[in-house]
A and B are shown apart, each in its own frame.
Chain A
C-alpha cells in the first residue's frame, strides 16, 4: 500500500494567515491526490481533487499543488470557518489511503 504522511500534525494559526500543509507519498502517486476538510462530528468534505483541481463551491482561498510524491494544500488567508482537520488521500492505487490528518487550531 502507498503510505501517506502529512505534516505538521497540528498547526496553530491566526485568522488571515497563509497556511500550508504537506502530504508525502511513499510511492509515485502522479497527480492522483485529493484533499478533504473535516469538522468535529461531521463527515469529510472534498476540497481538491487531481492534486490541484478545486471542487465546485469551495472557496478560491484553497489551492493544491504537487505531483509524484510531494503535495501541498494552501489556504491563502485563513478564515474562522477553516479551523478543522485536513486529510490527503491518494487514489493512484488500491488500497486507497489517507494521511493521518492535520488539525488547524486557533492561535
Chain B
C-alpha cells in the first residue's frame, strides 16, 4: 500500500534552516509528482511546493518562493524540502502528499506529517 513518511522536523531559531525528507513506498515513485502541504497549529491547509516525477519542474507558493527548495532522489524514493530563512509564520505541520496519475493537481495520499517549530 502507498506509504509516505516525513522526517526532519524540529525546533529551529528564526532565520535558521531545516531540511525535511519524505520517504515513499508502495508505488512506482519515479512515475509520480510529490507535493508539500503545511498546516499551522489549529489552522487550515496551505500548499507549499510541488515537484514533477522527473524532478525537472518545480512549483512554489509565493510565501516560500526563494526560501524553500524542493528536490527528489528517485534512486532513494525520497523527496526533500530545504527550508531557509525560517520565520514564525513557517511554524506548521508539514505533510508530503502524492500527486495522482495524470495532470490533476490534487493529493490522493498523505503522510502523517512532521512538525516544524520556529522559535527562539
**Contact assessment for A95 and B44 in the assembled complex, using a CB-CB cutoff below 8 Å:** no
**Contact assessment for A44 and B105 in the assembled complex, using a CB-CB cutoff below 8 Å:** no
**Contact assessment for B106 and A89 in the assembled complex, using a CB-CB cutoff below 8 Å:** yes
**Contact assessment for B105 and A95 in the assembled complex, using a CB-CB cutoff below 8 Å:** no
Assembled-state Cα–Cα distance A46/B97 (Å): 11
Assembled-state Cα–Cα distance A57/B99 (Å): 18
Partner of B105, one of A87, A91, A100: A91
**Contact assessment for B47 and A45 in the assembled complex, using a CB-CB cutoff below 8 Å:** no
**Contact assessment for A43 and B110 in the assembled complex, using a CB-CB cutoff below 8 Å:** yes
**Contact assessment for A45 and B106 in the assembled complex, using a CB-CB cutoff below 8 Å:** no
Tell me how far the C-beta of B92 lies from the nearest C-beta in chain A, rounded to whole angstroms. Answer: 13
Residues of A within 8 A of B100 (CB): 49
With both beta carbons as reference points, the residue of chain B lying nearest to A100 in the complex is identified as B44
**Contact assessment for B107 and A44 in the assembled complex, using a CB-CB cutoff below 8 Å:** yes
Tell me how far the C-beta of A67 lies from the nearest C-beta in chain B, rounded to whole angstroms. Answer: 15
With both beta carbons as reference points, the residue of chain A lying nearest to B93 in the complex is identified as A43
Assembled-state Cα–Cα distance A25/B113 (Å): 27
Assembled-state Cα–Cα distance A97/B100 (Å): 17
With both beta carbons as reference points, the residue of chain A lying nearest to B112 in the complex is identified as A43
Residues of B within 8 A of A (CB): 35, 44-47, 50, 59, 61-62, 95, 100, 104-113
